[in-house]
Amino acid sequence: MKKDGIAFEIRSLSNEIKRYLDKENHPGLTGVQHGILCYIGLTSRHKDVFQKDIEIKFNIRRSTATGILQLMEKNQFLYREPIKEDGRLKKIQLTEKGQTSFLELRSHLNTLEETIVENVSPDDFAIFVKVMHQISQNITCPTEPRNK
């Protein structure tokens, strides 16, 4: 199997998804903010969401997450509330505006996800997800230098 250019293929697919999300985007939100808003909306239903969760889920640095969350807070999509057990930790919650936006955006994300898997068999999709995780592990946690 030819492996040349796989990184560019992955990047190209990522760009296509980003363009789709930007096209369907809610006014006042970038594609990344859209994703974060949906993540908070879905996840906060069953557990508290903290900045560290967003850093891990979106594979972004602390400073990047801080900037994005500050802007979303300024634009009144979310707010951060200190928790009683540890005043340094702040639980992230959607405002009413954020919740309304989440419900609208979730519909667009559902459509994208349906489009992505259209004409892809469940077995092929399972393999794709497995390989995606393997590639991610190779990049983030290389075990040993590889012989070329």
pLDDT in tens, 63-85: 999 999 999 999 999 999 998 88
DSSP string, 25-45: PPTT--HHHHHHHHHHHHHTT
| Res 145: pLDDT | 54
| Res 28: pLDDT | 76
Would the pLDDT of 148 be above 50?
no
In a domain, 18, yes or no: yes
Q: Residue 128 is inside which H or E element, if any?
A: helix 122-140
In a domain, 64, yes or no: yes
Task: Tally the domains of the chain.
Answer: 1
In a domain, 146, yes or no: no
Average pLDDT for the chain: 87
- Whole domain around residue 69: which residue ranges? 6-119
In a domain, 112, yes or no: yes
| Res 14: pLDDT | 87
In a domain, 32, yes or no: yes
User: CATH code at 101?
Assistant: 1.10.10.10
In a domain, 39, yes or no: yes
In contact, 76 and 97? CB cutoff 8 Å: yes
In a domain, 50, yes or no: yes
In a domain, 27, yes or no: yes
Would the pLDDT of 25 be above 70?
no
